């Protein structure tokens, strides 16, 4: 297991020097953020990013993420060109030491929350999802956390209607085509491709969602029979519904060697599809972190792990979900559980 930390580059308030001071940290997870979705990443920027990490004493082996263009997901327009660009990015990243690429196939947006800075009972601030707040939103004029602000309301409405038209089976078809194109390149370059589940794992505003549960994870993995075709298993995304047994999923797919990247965080499940992101400590949420780490350990997980979203605590401000203090606490908590599991097995 390699503990890693998400870093958003030079604009990130959390510096590499701070990340290095977290005792269990082996490397960072980052990306090139200056390039339009669908384009080839400049090689010099990849080299510069890698050198910054190495000079700080941290590895750079995981990219999160290489975004998938909407044309690919919809199977329209310039989708073939964008797939060729995606292949080029895999080759470039492999050339410079990247071993795992995290990506997703969520329509329009990477994740959705109704609030980014909701104050919890302990005075900390966290990302939350309250269904009633979403129900009051006018789709044509919405501005919602997680949505791409580059789209006009008219463009957003058009995209949503296009996805409604193709539906889940259309999205599956386009995902299968995409996987069939990129996986031979990933195998050639020995790069593990790790899809992130939908967040949250149910339909919002009628948009199709397909990476949502065990049945769909099985269907996804069956699209390409190779170990390079795998998962980023996010406990917070799949775990915000009690329908998903997270330790069971971890044990199953770790045993298959198909989990390449583990996002570990806790979430407090409420009624009516509502949930709040919480501290990593098991009692703060609805997920048992010991059971989760034990499922990874007992089944031989040797991939990358990172403490996922954290609260804002101790008056810290910054990118919602990505402050230093709570994620550092989470990393040390998870590392402590792992060390206990290691010593207990000897």
Tell me which residues are annotated as active site.
196, 234, 263, 308-309, 322
How is the chain split among helix, strand and coil, in percent rounded to 5?
40, 15, 40
Give me 199's structure tokens.
């967040």
Distance CA 182, CA 53 (A): 27
| 3 state DSSP class of 276 | strand
Count of positions (residues) in the chain: 346
Question: Checking DSSP bridges between strand 192-195 and strand 304-307, what pairing results, if any?
Answer: unpaired
CB atoms within 10 A of CB 240: 26
The dihedrals phi and psi of 80, each to the nearest 5 degrees, come to: -70, -40
Distance CA 198, CA 115 (A): 18
Sorted by sequence, the CB contacts under 8 Å of residue 38 that are 6+ apart come out as 67, 69, 71, 72, 78, 81, 82, 85, 86
Distance CA 265, CA 24 (A): 17
């Amino acid at each position: 297991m390699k503990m890693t930390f998400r870093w958003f580059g030079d604009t990130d308030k959390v510096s590499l020097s701070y990340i290095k001071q977290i005792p269990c940290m082996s490397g960072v997870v980052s990306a090139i953020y200056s390039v339009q979705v669908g384009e080839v990443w400049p090689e010099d920027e990849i080299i510069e990013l890698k050198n910054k990490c190495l000079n700080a004493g941290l590895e750079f082996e995981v990219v999160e993420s290489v975004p998938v263009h909407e044309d690919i997901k919809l199977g329209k327009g310039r989708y073939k060109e964008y797939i060729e660009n995606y292949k080029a990015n895999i080759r470039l990243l492999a050339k410079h030491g990247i071993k795992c690429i995290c990506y997703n196939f969520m329509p329009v947006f990477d994740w959705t929350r109704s609030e980014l800075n909701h104050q919890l009972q302990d005075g900390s601030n966290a990302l939350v999802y309250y269904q009633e707040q979403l129900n009051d939103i006018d789709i044509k004029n919405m501005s919602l956390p997680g949505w791409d602000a580059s789209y006009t309301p008219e463009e957003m409405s058009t995209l949503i209607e296009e996805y409604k038209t193709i539906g889940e089976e259309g999205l599956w078809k386009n995902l299968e085509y995409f996987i069939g194109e990129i996986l031979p390149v990933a195998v050639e370059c020995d790069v593990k491709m790790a899809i992130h589940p939908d967040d949250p794992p149910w339909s919002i505003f009628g948009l199709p969602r397909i990476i949502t549960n065990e049945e769909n994870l099985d269907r996804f993995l069956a699209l390409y029979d190779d170990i390079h075709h795998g998962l980023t298993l996010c406990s917070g995304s799949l775990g915000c519904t009690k329908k998903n047994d997270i330790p069971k999923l971890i044990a199953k797919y770790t045993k298959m060697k198909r989990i390449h990247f583990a996002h570990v965080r806790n979430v407090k499940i409420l009624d009516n599809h509502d949930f709040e992101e919480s501290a990593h400590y098991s009692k703060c949420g609805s997920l048992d972190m010991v059971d989760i780490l034990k499922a990874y350990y007992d089944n031989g997980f040797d991939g990358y792990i990172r403490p996922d979203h954290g609260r804002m605590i101790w008056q810290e401000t910054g990118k919602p979900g990505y402050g230093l203090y709570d994620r550092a606490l989470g990393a040390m908590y998870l590392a402590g559980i792992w060390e206990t599991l290691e010593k207990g097995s000897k």
